[in-house]
Amino acid sequence: MDILVVQHVEADPVGILGRYLEVRGAWLHTWLVPQRSTPPHGHYDGLIVLGGSMNACEDDNFPHLIRVAELIRKFHSQGKPVLGICLGAQLIARAFGSRVYQNEVPELGFTPLFPTAAPEEPWLQDYPPGMPMMQWHFDTFELPVGAKLLLTNNACKNQAFRIGSNIYGLQFHPEVTPQTVMNWMAFKTEWIEANYPHLFEQLREQLVLHWVQSAQFTEKLANAWYDQVVTSAQTGSLLEQGSPS
């Protein structure tokens, strides 16, 4: 299965999520935006949109965001799976007409998440209520019309959602490795240093406590999403075979 990965910044790669997908047999084709203005041409069975430091509507400074929103709508219209992470989730919300705006408080570091109900998603089966996942965001979004909320917390309500059967948005970062998280400390702003003076030490402690469980969750997520990609591709192939020539 060929999967297009939109990587907005070099500091946020597909990480351990990509490793698990490759183990299953995925071929990942990364559009690293700082190196090229348009995505690589080809046939893709699924789309992953990663995080980034920009706002989801900052088109003047990052014109590729319009193209990404178009890609999300295109994959959705074709019934192909889409997975958006952090900025990617915000871009899904934007693509479906919802507002993206600054959250009341940022989420930096591992924060607890809670399933909204008895989950239907295979990757949320047995999710321990309150299990922390890595966060690094200042913005949030209104839930798109018809979307189903899957994970939430008190700091930022919309943590994970599904649109239809093939579009998923995650506000948190399941893809990170410890090295990725530590690299992000290079992007500390004066505001972060003033308001989170011990963030580096806190992140190191949180990684020791929570990253293994986070990675186990990411493996379940990758397997379930890849199964969707395979099923979608097989269904599309059968429809093409059955169409009149």
Q: With contact defined as beta carbons under 8 Å apart, do 74 and 43 qualify?
A: no
User: Cα 179 vs. chain centroid, distance in angstroms?
Assistant: 18
Across-strand partners of 6?
31, 49
Catalytic pick from 8, 86, 137, 210? 86
| 226 CB burial (10 A radius; 0-12, 13-18, 19+) | buried
Distance CA 233, CA 239 (A): 10
Q: Are 134 and 180 in contact (CB under 8 A)?
A: no
First-last CA distance in the chain: 25
Cα 139 off chain centre by: 14
Asked if 10 is an active-site residue, the reply is no
Contact residues for 172 (Cβ-Cβ < 8 A; gap 6+): 85, 86, 111, 113, 133, 134, 135, 151, 159, 160
Catalytic residue among 121, 137, 175, 210: 175
The answer to whether 86 is a known catalytic residue is yes
Question: Does the annotation mark 175 as catalytic?
Answer: yes
Interhelix angle 64-77/87-95, nearest 10 degrees: 70
CA separation for the pair 53, 72 (Å, rounded): 19
Q: Give the integer Cα–Cα distance in Å for 77 and 167.
A: 11
Please give the positions annotated as active site: 86, 173, 175
